[in-house]
Chains A and B, each alone.
Chain A
């Protein structure tokens, strides 16, 4: 079974440009999460989809970040316009539908974003 995949693995863009990150969860996983690790800091939650609906987007830093999950399959995270502080590693994770007990979250390899 294929794991969570993310594309691209690394992106280098200039400040002010736009970047779109993609995440393909494990097939059948309703829950999709985005996290980010900024250099030297902890991995932080950004948002959570259940199928195509945003369950929790409390971690989104500002309105330059837009996440979508049309059709409840893959998800995209767009940063527009990118700023220097957006540099970091963006992780995607997916899990089965929770039913009272947390299901394991399976992580993708991450996308390293560098804004220059």
Chain B
């Protein structure tokens, strides 16, 4: 079955500390992985996707097919990083490209 697992509901860190939001997936095929973020009172928006292999707002994520993981990392957290983060997988076959989401992790960066 296709599934995305985010084991942490809440991750609280202090400003300047490293951050790692965990994401594991289950998918039979070649997945496309994403991280979406929802800041307070804002809509869900794409943060980064694995095929881009880029760093956005200091965040990076590497697809590890052996461990079926796509963890999101940032070396030094900022208060403005506080938000809900969702890991998502694109799959389902055909041309639908529907997103399969994890349950999300709330990142709280303390001053």
Complex Cα–Cα for A101 and B34 (A): 13
Q: B55 at interface (Cβ–Cβ under 8 A)? A: no
Are B99 and A95 in contact (CB-based, < 8 A)? Answer: no
Q: How far is the CB of B29 from chain A (nearest CB, A)?
A: 13
Are A59 and B98 in contact (CB-based, < 8 A)? Answer: yes
Are B101 and A55 in contact (CB-based, < 8 A)? Answer: no
Total number of B residues with any Cβ neighbor in A under 8 Å = 23
Minimum CB distance partner of B4 in chain A: A42
Complex Cα–Cα for A103 and B49 (A): 11
Q: B96 at interface (Cβ–Cβ under 8 A)? A: yes
Complex Cα–Cα for A41 and B34 (A): 18
Total number of A residues with any Cβ neighbor in B under 8 Å = 30
A102: contacting residue among B32, B94, B101, CB under 8 A:
B32
Q: B51 at interface (Cβ–Cβ under 8 A)? A: yes
Known contacts A33-B98, A98-B97: A41-B103 contact under CB 8 Å: yes
Known contacts A56-B94, A102-B90: A42-B101 contact under CB 8 Å: yes
Are A91 and B104 in contact (CB-based, < 8 A)? Answer: no
Are A105 and B46 in contact (CB-based, < 8 A)? Answer: yes
Q: How far is the CB of B103 from chain A (nearest CB, A)?
A: 5
Q: Which residues of B contact A48 (CB under 8 A)?
A: 96-98
Q: Which residues of A contact B97 (CB under 8 A)?
A: 31, 48, 95, 98, 102-103, 105
Q: B1 at interface (Cβ–Cβ under 8 A)? A: no
Q: A1 at interface (Cβ–Cβ under 8 A)? A: no
Q: A88 at interface (Cβ–Cβ under 8 A)? A: no
Q: A3 at interface (Cβ–Cβ under 8 A)? A: yes
Q: A66 at interface (Cβ–Cβ under 8 A)? A: no
Are B51 and A107 in contact (CB-based, < 8 A)? Answer: no
Interface string of B42-73 (1 = CB under 8 A from A): 01111001010000000000000000000000
A residues neighboring B (CB under 8 Å) = 3-4, 31, 33, 35, 41-45, 48, 50, 55-56, 58-59, 91, 93, 95, 98, 101-110
